[in-house]
Amino acid sequence: MSVRSAARLNRVSAPTQPADRSGSDLAAARQKQAGRRRLNVLGGRVLVAVVVLGGWELGSRIGVIDKFFWSQPSEIASTLWRWFTEGTDLGPLWEQVLVTMEETVGGFLVGSVLGVIFGVVLGRNRLLADVLGPYIKGANAIPRVVVGALFAVSLGLDIRAKIATAAVLVFFVVFFNAFQGVREVDRNLIANARILGADNRRLTTEIIIPSALSWIAASLHTSFGLALVGAVVGELFGATEGIGELIYLSKNLFDTAGVFAGMALLAATALVAEALITALEDRLIRWRPPVATEVRI
């Protein structure tokens, strides 16, 4: 994040800065400083991993931590390795990851597209928002993972039930953000667009939606995590494959290492997705000033 911001700032100020010696010296010094900082951060991260995992491993080896309930990192690693090389009880590992990803991405797309559409429509239409408001708030108050049970019955064991569960979780987060984003559009910008000749359609596509986009984009981070929750919960309610099913199976065999290994896989998936969403957000909201926290002369 910080590195990318710095690059963006540099690109902007480059043409106006004279390329004198002191300037280039300053830039070099700053680059060196940034490099050192990156190294410190990386070192810190490794240190945290070593302390936590090492402490866990040591604790379980000397008996402070019960291996049966809490497993230990070396066992988790060997389980992962076994899944990776020999496949899981449900089939090859990559198939399980792929199935869960499909459910997650499917639910994420369905939920966020519906959320944006409903949010924009209701945000633009006061009457509709007032009529539907209590129902939406009521529906949102229900612990929504339970609809997973309903979908498992009505849609069966296949992928649709999981997509539906994930979509329901995603929908409300994106909806509320899109709705709020539409409501918070700067009135001056709307007045300006109308004076410049924008009709209602242009107002929606060129002013309201871009303006609401920073709200919507912020919600995408949370909602991808929720889509993953929805997919896994959907698998727990009944499935034949997927990481959630893998965890469920391990649990039934009292194989805590398997549960942890499944969690590690989910975490890795979520981190990769998070990076992808950040990249998407940067593309969507290029016009937003970069956060210039570490860039100081």
Partner 1 sequence: MTPAIELRGVTKRFLTPSGGVYTALHDLNMSVEPGEFCSVVGPTGCGKSTTLALISGLEPASEGEVDVFGKPVAGIADGIGYVFQSDAVFPWKTVLGNVAAGPRYHGASNRDASERARDWIARVGLAGFEDRYPYQLSGGMRKRVALAQSLINSPRILLMDEPFSALDVQTRTLMENELLSLWSASSASVVFVTHDLEEAISLSDRVFVITAGPGTVKSTYKVDLPRPRNVAEIRFEPRFVAIYEEIWKDLRDEVLVSYERQKRGAA
Which residues would be at the binding site for partner 1 (CB under 8 A)?
Answer: 12, 186, 188-189, 191-199, 202, 206-207, 210-211, 213, 285-289
Q: Which positions ≥6 away from 152 have C-beta within 8 Å?
A: 161, 234, 237, 238
Task: Report the candidate in 103, 120, 60 with the shortest Cα–Cα distance to residue 269.
Answer: 103
Provide, rounded to whole angstroms, the least separation between the CB of residue 179 and partner 1: 19
Provide, rounded to whole angstroms, the least separation between the CB of residue 9 and partner 1: 10
Choose between 76 and 212: whose C-beta lies nearer to partner 1.
Answer: 212
Provide, rounded to whole angstroms, the least separation between the CB of residue 17 and partner 1: 14
- What is the DSSP secondary-structure string of 59-111? HHHHTSS-HHHH--HHHHHHHHHHHHHH-BTTB-HHHHHHHHHHHHHHHHHHH
Provide, rounded to whole angstroms, the least separation between the CB of residue 282 and partner 1: 13
Amino acid at 6: A
In the three-class reduction of DSSP (H, G, I as helix; E, B as strand; rest coil), residue 186 is classed as coil
Choose between 210 and 238: whose C-beta lies nearer to partner 1.
Answer: 210
Provide, rounded to whole angstroms, the least separation between the CB of residue 31 and partner 1: 22
Choose between 178 and 273: whose C-beta lies nearer to partner 1.
Answer: 178
Choose between 213 and 233: whose C-beta lies nearer to partner 1.
Answer: 213
Question: At what angle are helices 147-154 and 209-236 packed, to 10 degrees?
Answer: 70
Choose between 69 and 287: whose C-beta lies nearer to partner 1.
Answer: 287
The phi and psi torsions of 166 (rounded to 5 degrees) equal -65, -40
Amino acid at 148: G
Choose between 149 and 190: whose C-beta lies nearer to partner 1.
Answer: 190
d(CA 287, CA 215): 14
Provide, rounded to whole angstroms, the least separation between the CB of residue 207 and partner 1: 7
Sign of CA dihedral 268, 274, 280, 286: negative
